[in-house]
Structure formats: C-alpha cells, structure tokens
C-alpha cells in the first residue's frame, strides 16, 4: 500500500495512580508508597490539555490499584469501590471539555470493558509478549500476574468481541527471543483476524530505569526494532504502526522507511510519565521528519480514521466536530 501520511495524536497524559499489583523488573512507574490523583488535579490537567489544543485524554495507571488499602480507602472516601468506576466519571469530565478519552486500564473483565467503552474513543493494553517464559522465576514478569499472556490476550479478545478500537503492541529487549517477538505479533494478528479491531501496534523498546532491578540491563540493538517493525508491517499492512519517537530520538525517518506510519501520542502539556527521562519531540520536529521522507504529517484522534464508526454515541458529535472528510483532524483546528 502506498502511504501518504504519517500521523500523531495530541494528548494530555493523566497518570491516575502509580499503585500497581504487578512488579515488572523494568518498571520505573509503580511506587511502594502509592498515590492516586484526586478529581481536582485531574480536572486541572484536562483543562490545560484542552487549552493547548489536545484532543485526547490519555488515562494510564497501574493495574488493580485497589489491592493497596490506602488507595482503596481514598476511592471509598470519594464514593467509589474501584478505580474503574472513578475512571468512568473522569472520562465524563474529559468529554465535557471536548476531549476524547483513551484509557489503558490493564487486565480487566469484559464487564469493565463494556462500561469503559461507553466513554472511550479507543482503549489500549500492551500485550508486551505472548511468551509465558518471561513470567518464570528470574524473568522480568515473575512478580506480575497481570502480565500472563493468556490474561492479556483475553482482554484483546473481549475488546474485539465488543468492537472497541484497540491499541496494543510488543516490548522489545526484556529477555525475549526474536522468535518470541514474531509469535507475539502473530498472537495479536490472530485476535485481529477474528474481530478487526486493532487500530494501532506499538513496537516499544526497553529503556533501563535507574533504581529498578533491570537498571543495568542493555538496551536492545536497533536491528531488533527494525526486524519487529518490518514483520509487523508484513502481518498488518493497513494498521497504525509506531515506535515511540521519544524513546528513539533521531530514528524517526529510519522507522518510517521500515514500515512505521504513526508517531503515537505527543503531549504539549505533560511528560511521558512512564518514561519521564525521554522528552516528547515537538510537533515541528515530527513534521520535518515526516516531510524529509516524503510524507505529510497529519494529526489524528485517539481513534484512527478507519475506526470512527466504532465510537460510542455520546462521542460522535465531538469526533465529527474535529475531523475532515478523511477522518483526520481538520487542519483548521
Ligand atoms: S504493569 Fe505497568 S505499572 Fe505495573 S509494574 Fe508492570 S510496567 Fe509497572
């Protein structure tokens, strides 16, 4: 397929809570003294995002944070049993400001997905790897029940049954083999083949974080990323495909030449709270990188143009107010 565009989404990133039931060896996000953002703090971020022209409210947080009594107590104080119910109301707040929620709720049930579908333009969950070997003793997911491939693939499957536009991907460089990367992408493809709901695949490279058990672990060679990218493009000729540009400064053009067609979410107001050392590139930088390779940079919504028909009723008016006839953000906005 001859592509003409490279896309990105302008988002405001809300790191709702750093409490997480998992303990991935490379994670610099979760905390042993966890906190959860109150509604006022979330509203403030949403306001800043809206004022800066963001269209996407990206909600990311640790999995099942209620396992921490202090987080459960805060939620109860605010009238919620679970973070998912709190998130639902915050998504409504975002929608009131004209922002389109994209939530990454971790491993959740079909019922939770159904609830969140009502207030999200799209949702996401990284598969990371389909290899159960990475959950064995001494491996990075040993203490992360939520990283069991079966559990994550089940979420992808349920999202597909419900028709939720979905973003997923693989994490490269945490001890998996090249064959396992291919198997992971094949596993995503099988779910997509059944339901047609995967709008975007992220090929994410491991970056060591200080203070984590994998702080001294080497980053994967560039060739591993290129191989994964090319294989993903072979399997998914029409799907959004990106390698996070803030984790790979100077490599954007290279990735476009090897199959990428998206730069992911870029925020003009918030850092990448999961990779705080890696700053987002500016929009002008993305534009120059795209044009150098012969592409036009287009802003997209958190829901890709081909999936706009999937958005819930309550979001349709907002979506229609943003897009042109091709489903990209109207250049005048
Ligand atoms: S699931 Fe995410 S937030 Fe939780 S420990 Fe793993 S990487 Fe960190």
Query: Residue 203 domain-assigned?
Result: yes
Which residue segment(s) compose the domain that 150 sits in? Answer: 5-322
**β-bridge mates for residue 151, sequence order:** none
**pLDDT tens digits, residue range 82-140?**
999 999 999 999 999 999 999 999 999 999 999 999 999 999 999 999 999 999 999 99
Distance between CA atoms of 96 and 98, rounded to whole angstroms?
Answer: 6
Among 293, 300, 241, 246, smallest CA distance to 272 is for 246
Has residue 331 been placed in a domain? no
20, 202, 213: which to mutate for ligand 1, most atoms within 8 A of CB? Answer: 20
Residue 206 beta carbon below 6 angstroms from any ligand 1 atom: no
Give the model confidence (pLDDT) of 193-249 as tens digits: 999 999 999 999 999 999 999 999 999 999 999 999 999 999 999 999 999 999 998
Which contiguous run of DSSP H or E holds residue 86?
A: helix 83-96
Q: Which atom of ligand 1 is nearest to the CA of 20?
A: 4
Distance, in Å, from the CA atom of 172 to the CA atom of 170, rounded to the nearest integer, reads 6
Can you tell me the distance from the alpha carbon of 285 to that of 281, in angstroms, rounded to the nearest whole number? 6
Q: Is 30 in the pocket of ligand 1 (CB under 6 A)?
A: yes
Ligand 1, atom 3: nearest CA belongs to which residue? 62
Q: How far is CA 118 from the centre of its chain?
A: 18
Report the mean per-residue pLDDT for the chain. 96
Reply yes or no on whether the pLDDT at 298 is more than 50.
Answer: yes
- Compute φ and ψ for 56, nearest 5 degrees: -110, 135
Cα–Cα distances in angstroms (integers) from residue 255 to residues 207, 248, 258, in the given order: 18, 10, 5
CATH code assigned at 217: 3.20.20.70
Kindly report the backbone phi and psi dihedral angles of residue 302, in degrees, each rounded to the nearest multiple of 5, phi listed first: -65, -15
Asked if residue 157 belongs to a domain, the reply is yes
Tell me if 22 CB under 6 Å of ligand 1.
Answer: yes
Q: What is the number of domains present in the chain?
A: 1
The atom number, within ligand 1, closest to the CA of 106 reads: 1
Is 29 a member of any domain?
Answer: yes
């Amino acid at each position: 397929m001859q592509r003409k565009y490279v896309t990105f989404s302008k988002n405001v990133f809300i790191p709702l809570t750093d409490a997480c039931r998992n303990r991935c060896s490379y994670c610099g996000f979760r905390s042993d003294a966890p906190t959860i953002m109150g509604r006022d703090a979330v509203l403030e971020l949403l306001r800043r995002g809206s004022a800066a022209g963001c269209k996407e409210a990206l909600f990311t947080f640790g999995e099942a944070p209620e396992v921490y009594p202090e987080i459960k107590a805060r939620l109860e104080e605010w009238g919620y049993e679970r973070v998912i119910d709190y998130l639902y109301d915050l998504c409504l707040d975002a929608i009131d400001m004209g922002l389109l929620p994209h939530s990454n709720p971790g491993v959740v049930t079909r019922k939770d997905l159904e609830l969140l579908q009502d207030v999200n333009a799209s949702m996401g969950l990284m598969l990371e790897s389909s290899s159960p070997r990475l959950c064995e003793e001494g491996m990075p997911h040993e203490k992360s029940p939520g990283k069991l491939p079966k559990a994550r693939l089940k979420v992808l499957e349920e999202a597909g049954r419900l028709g939720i536009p979905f973003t997923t991907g693989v994490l490269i460089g945490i001890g998996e083999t090249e064959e396992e990367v291919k198997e992971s992408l094949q596993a995503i493809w099988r779910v997509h083949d059944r339901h047609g709901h995967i709008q975007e695949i992220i090929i994410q490279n491991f970056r060591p974080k200080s203070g984590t058990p994998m702080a001294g672990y080497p980053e994967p060679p560039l060739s591993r990323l290129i191989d994964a990218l090319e294989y993903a493009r072979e399997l998914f000729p029409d799907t959004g495909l990106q390698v996070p540009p803030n984790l790979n400064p100077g490599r954007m053009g290279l990735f476009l030449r090897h199959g990428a067609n998206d730069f992911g979410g870029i925020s003009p107001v918030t850092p990448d709270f999961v990779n705080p050392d890696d700053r987002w590139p500016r929009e002008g930088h993305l534009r120059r990188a795209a044009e150098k390779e012969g592409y036009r940079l287009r802003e997209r919504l958190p829901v890709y143009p081909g999936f706009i028909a999937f958005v819930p009723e309550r979001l349709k008016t907002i979506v229609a107010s943003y897009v042109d006839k091709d489903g990209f953000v109207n250049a005048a906005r």
